[in-house]
Structure 1
Amino acid sequence: MDGSQGDLLEAFREGPRLEPAAVRRFLSDNPEFLTGDDGLLDELGLKVAQGVSGGNVVEFAPAAMARIHAAHQQEATQRQQLEETARANFSAQAQTHGAVVDLLEARNHSDLARRVNELAQQRFGLAAGVIALETDTHSPAGWKMLVEGQVDMILGGDQRLARMGFAPTALGLFGDRAEEIASMAMVRMAIWEPSRQGLLAFGSADPEGFTQDMGSELVAFLARVVERTAERWPILS
């Protein structure tokens, strides 16, 4: 070990008193300490530049460049995912706003149920859309009739407001299309005064169409629109 290397090692032994400026000055005065140590160059991701007089210039090694490229690719992928999510959210909101206009143009309860099913299929690419009502007499034309307490049973809990994902207890809502349904989005409704319990349900043929970790805000918004629209017309007792 020559004197310069000994000086640097001694400085490291002294611990906290070693300053970056001192290391910089040492490497500037003794470049061969770095350029002559292949192991250290590999650890730092550097290599001696080829074709340079004196061999005292170092450049990034391929491994270092690969790390930079990988980081760039990861950043680009994350940015692309964010952009795709933003576009999907914007599209969903635009379709929901269009669906609201369709629902508000309903002429009666039967037409409202028809429009819910049509917007489910045509606007959202789903298998079906259903309006259901708990009643001990009869439900409006086109609506699914439920017995008292069935909304709680379908949603899986007393006064639970929404349920996303697959629920076997909800398959009956979709009638002859039940076999196609692999996931559902369902929101509780309260219609008329005194209120009657109801349900707005959408069914998808895709098992991942609706999952438990999805938010129910847009479906709940549509449920509120259906509630207010249905209340335009009285229900016959």
Structure 2
Amino acid sequence: MDGGAKAKDHALRSDDVRAFLADNPQFLKDDPALLAELGLRPDAANVLDFGPAALARVHEAHKREAGARKRLEATARANFAAQAQTHGAVVDLLDARNHADLARRVDELAQLRFGLAAGVVALSGPDRTPAGWRMLVEGQIDMIIGHQRVALMGFQPTALGLFGERAESVRSMAMVRMAIWEPSREGLLAFGSADENGFTEDMGAELVAFLARVVERTAERWPVL
């Protein structure tokens, strides 16, 4: 019991320390070693002044805060730009006249709006595939992005075939499953980047998934002929 009481008595709170220093102003002034450790020094006017160590700490803290703020601002600007480009891409996709035109627009917006290597629309199944779309066999989408996975960001060797003659330039991909028509056929919207850091596993797939939903709804305007 005595040991516990002593430990409790020695657990000082910040308010206790503040009150003690206010009641004993000479405590710090009479301890030069403690002042030096805190980066403080008494000046000629009997006032505590920040020493070089304290100023250095304040400067470093300011630099860290400024750096963090700049990174947040850069991220916010990048997100805003990506959203603006995505909204413009939606308008382009909705203007498609048929399936072939839709596939062409996906590829064009990938290159012109987003600076990517390619954009591809693929469809799985034994039935007919629209002109301009990549044909995949049953189960191939699972082989490309994994069973039960809706989206994949990063590099996937099994997806290189989607990009045809431009496959050699693709270093990372963003891919999202689609379900089109009724009864539904499984499809895939894929974008390829020449930058290995263009799409990484830690990136969110929300904007790509949004574009996939637009492609689904636009493609359903026309039957597969």
2:107: which partner in 1?
117
- The Cα shift of 1:169 comes to 0.6
Q: Which amino acid aligns with 1:25?
A: D
1:26: which partner in 2?
24
SS of residue paired to 1:139: coil
TM-score, normalised via structure 1 length? 0.84
Q: Which amino acid aligns with 1:180?
A: S
Percent identity reads: 69
- The Cα shift of 1:23 comes to 3.8
2:83: which partner in 1?
93
> Could you say if the C-alpha distance between residues 22 and 234 of structure 1 is closer, same or farther in structure 2, counting changes exceeding 3 Å?
closer
Two-structure CA RMSD over aligned residues (Å): 1.9
**What are the Cα deviations for residues 130-189 of structure 1, in whole angstroms up to 9, with x where unaligned?**
0000132431111101001111111111x3211111111100000000011111000001
TM-score, normalised via structure 2 length? 0.89
The alignment status of 1:166 with 2:155, answered yes or no, reads: yes
1-structure distance, mates of 2:64, 2:17: 35
- The Cα shift of 1:99 comes to 0.2
2:41: which partner in 1?
47
Unaligned runs of 5+ in 1: 1-13
2:121: which partner in 1?
131
**What are the Cα deviations for residues 5-31 of structure 1, in whole angstroms up to 9, with x where unaligned?**
xxxxxxxxx96897744543332xxx4
> Could you say if the C-alpha distance between residues 37 and 155 of structure 1 is closer, same or farther in structure 2, counting changes exceeding 3 Å?
same
SS of residue paired to 1:176: helix
1-structure distance, mates of 2:17, 2:165: 78
> Could you say if the C-alpha distance between residues 36 and 221 of structure 1 is closer, same or farther in structure 2, counting changes exceeding 3 Å?
same
The alignment status of 1:232 with 2:221, answered yes or no, reads: yes
1:9: which partner in 2?
none
> Could you say if the C-alpha distance between residues 154 and 21 of structure 1 is closer, same or farther in structure 2, counting changes exceeding 3 Å?
closer
2-structure distance, mates of 1:93, 1:148: 33
Q: Which amino acid aligns with 1:44?
A: L
> Could you say if the C-alpha distance between residues 60 and 172 of structure 1 is closer, same or farther in structure 2, counting changes exceeding 3 Å?
same
SS of residue paired to 1:229: helix
Count of residue pairs the alignment pairs up? 214
